[in-house]
Amino acid sequence: MNATQHPELAVSTRGLTKRYGDYTAVDHVDLEIRRGEIFALLGPNGAGKSTTIEMLEGYRSPTSGTATVLGENPLGASAAWRARIGIVSQQAADIERFTVREIVRHFASLYPDALNPEETLERCGLGEKMSARVPSLSGGQKRRLDVALGIIGKPELLFLDEPTTGFDPAARREFWELIRELGDDGTTILLTTHYLDEAEHLAQRVGVIARGKLLEVAPIDELGGVEARVPIVSWRDADGRQFAERTRTPGALVTKLVAEHDGEPRDLAVKRPSLEDIYLDMLERINTEAAASAPASPAPTSTTTEQNR
């Protein structure tokens, strides 16, 4: 069944919810991702990122709410729709018998307008491994193969679930380059990551999810609001007591402290909160609020475990 969706949107959800028994893994998520956007979903372990993505891919059914992806309901979407999306999930490809080239060629043959397999492998840094069998690849190289398989069908929308886990720093940089190129070509990308620098490098907007709830969606440099970015000046007095003050005019405060201390205050530091500081503050706040509003949702039990959907 075709759903109505604003043509500029690649993804839109309303009240998207997934429950396992009494446990709510994804809780009324309203999310809009524009076509051509690179969007990063951040959140701690178990926050609900993969569950959200899997509902958008059509691999998990929502308990309630709706999702529209490239104009269709992902559940039971058409084969033509499936050819328009690319998926790099957390499970690495494990195709024992084949060489890298064979497997990528096979995947390419499944799509109406696939990329060139050899060129794609070069782009993914596997040019020298085309004739290698999959089991002989290192962890990072297997992940690159996953990425090659995810993009081979020239997707309009690419889902990347923690794509650079296990990459060495150089491989991550190369991967970021590849993702930026895909973004420049107009591919919409939804990625989840635990690396804030990755989100900073790649994403135009980020969403933070924790305990299944989407806490905030914002351009990366506006996350947490203006207030969260106010610098903190810290110092010690002559007795060694630690002080810290948030101020929009750190220079003026430092000048005042220097005058008051008749010289350099001890351990003087001016710190502008990093994205990581802001993100961790948000998570701490939500955990404190959750603890205050007990009883919390019980953790999922084996009786509520759902294997596939």
Ligand X SMILES: Nc1ncnc2c1ncn2[C@@H]1O[C@H](COP(=O)(O)OP(=O)(O)OP(=O)(O)O)[C@@H](O)[C@H]1O
Residue with Cβ nearer ligand X (58 or 125): 58
Residue with Cβ nearer ligand X (69 or 121): 69
Residue with Cβ nearer ligand X (22 or 177): 22
Binding residues for ligand X (CB under 6 A): 20, 25, 43, 45-51, 300, 304-306
b/e burial code for range 152-188 (CB count within 10 A of at least 16 → b): bbbbbbbbbbbbbebbeeebbebbbebbeebbeeebb
Residue with Cβ nearer ligand X (49 or 129): 49
Residue with Cβ nearer ligand X (50 or 141): 50
User: What is the Cα 140 distance to its own chain's centre?
Assistant: 18
| Least distance (Å) between residue 303 CB and ligand X | 10
Residue with Cβ nearer ligand X (271 or 309): 309
Q: What is the rounded CA–CA span in Å between residue 201 and residue 177?
A: 10
Q: 182 Cβ partners below 8 Å, 6+ apart? A: 151, 158, 189
Cβ atoms 29, 214 nearer than 8 A = yes
Q: What is the rounded CA–CA span in Å between residue 262 and residue 129?
A: 65
Q: Show the tokens assigned to 3.
A: 């759903």
| Least distance (Å) between residue 243 CB and ligand X | 37
| Least distance (Å) between residue 284 CB and ligand X | 17
| Least distance (Å) between residue 51 CB and ligand X | 3
Residue with Cβ nearer ligand X (25 or 104): 25
| Least distance (Å) between residue 154 CB and ligand X | 26
Q: Show the tokens assigned to 94.
A: 């494990």
User: What is the Cα 248 distance to its own chain's centre?
Assistant: 31
| Least distance (Å) between residue 59 CB and ligand X | 11
| Least distance (Å) between residue 46 CB and ligand X | 4
Angle between helices 100-109 and 139-151 (to 10 degrees): 20
Q: What is the rounded CA–CA span in Å between residue 233 and residue 248?
A: 10
Q: What is the rounded CA–CA span in Å between residue 12 and residue 28?
A: 12
